[in-house]
Amino acid sequence: MIIIMLVLIVILALYSLIGRDLLHVVIAMSAISLICALLFVLLDAPDVAITEAAVGAGVSTVIYVWALRHTRRRDDDNT
Amino acid sequence: MTTRRWLNGAGTWLAIIALAVILAPIFLSATPWPTVARDYLQQQGTADSGAINLVSAIYLGYRVFDTFGETIVLLVAILGTMGLLSQLEHLVEPAQNDQKALETTSRFALAQEKRRSHTLRTHLLEVVTGKVGPIVLLFGFYVMLYGHISPGGGFQGGVIVASGIVFLSLGNPQEGSFGISRPQVLIRLEILAFFTLIVIFSSGLITGSGFFGNPLADTPFPVAHIVLLNAVIGLKVGMSIGFMCIAMMGERT
């Protein structure tokens, strides 16, 4: 179970590095935070899990999407 | 262009491989974890601080200094964000009726008449967030105030309170019908909470336990210090993050 989660985290992290559509990347990062929170619950750290779920999957996603709304959605090649 | 893209991709993979090479020895080593601090906390932590949740006993009892630093980091981050947002407002001309000005201002939705979020709002969003908001607020205050017994604490509860505030401000049909989603109220509460935090930290000086010390350490209820700190930190975090999110969504600041 934990191994599946870790592999998923690595795959999502690689996608968020390489992906070109920034909205998809933001959602992938939010999913990373969610899987991390589940992982923390499995490892008996509920305090950290609450923080990770609230900050990582909630507030930071809101801030990223807000920033995305005021800029362009596609990643640029020549920057 | 293509070589540049290829170089970017190669750089990414190089960074990943370098990270793997650095981290591999840490994962592969079989060094036993240090156990002295863990054993001490298991035997003495609850008796020292009165908190059943040892995590809150650590970050509000033994390591308050770090928590104070975290609070200040959050304060500076919010200040920087609000500085940037207020600069954004200077870039925008006041809204007029012609299409060009509307188009320009809706890109930087900050002030009352420039709100773009109203047009994107649906009845579903308003009804759901308006109904869920108070429940989220209540849960946030529960996590905040029971941080010494159950998992949670000031920071976690504060962030949940902040999302409750954002829900309430998304869900109300009229502007500012909930006092807590009004920026002036939020910023005053945050200032009050930070002032109270410093007063609590300094109150150890009077009773002789020193700055950051627990002034109630000799009384039968040493846990009151942790409960108070949790409540104040939660208020401060919730108000500042809620204030920032509301300012970003385009409320009047």
The CA distance from A54 to B145, in Å, is: 17
pLDDT of B213 > 60? The answer is yes
Query: Which amino acid type is present at position B37?
Result: A
Tell me, yes or no, if A54 comes closer than 8 A to chain B by beta carbon: yes
Across the range B79-95, mean pLDDT stands at 68
Tell me, yes or no, if B156 comes closer than 8 A to chain A by beta carbon: yes
Q: Is B40 inside any structural domain?
A: no
- pLDDT per residue over B148-205, tens digit each? 888 888 888 999 999 888 888 877 656 555 666 677 888 888 889 999 998 988 888 8
Tell me, yes or no, if B100 comes closer than 8 A to chain A by beta carbon: no
pLDDT of B31 > 90? The answer is no
In this prediction the pTM is 0.77
Q: Is B39 inside any structural domain?
A: no
> How many Cα atoms sit within 13 Å of B162 on the Cβ side?
30
Q: A47 and B152: CB-CB below 8 Å?
A: yes
Q: Is B44 inside any structural domain?
A: no
In B, minimum Cα distance to A55 occurs at B159
Q: What was the pLDDT predicted at B173?
A: 58
Across the range B34-59, mean pLDDT stands at 84
Query: Does the ipTM exceed 0.85?
Result: no
Q: Is B159 inside any structural domain?
A: yes
| Pairwise pLDDT comparison (B90 vs B178), residue with the higher score | B178
The CA distance from A51 to B66, in Å, is: 17
Q: Are B245 and A60 in contact (CB under 8 A)?
A: no
- What b-and-e string marks burial along A2-21, b requiring 16 or more CB atoms within 10 Å of the CB? eeeeeeebeebeeebeebee
Q: Is B19 inside any structural domain?
A: no
Q: Is B41 inside any structural domain?
A: no
Q: Is B93 inside any structural domain?
A: yes
Q: Is B36 inside any structural domain?
A: no
Give residue B69's domain range: 52-249
pLDDT of A78 > 60? The answer is no
Q: How many domains does chain B have?
A: 1
* Contact residues on chain B for A55, CB-CB shorter than 8 A: 159
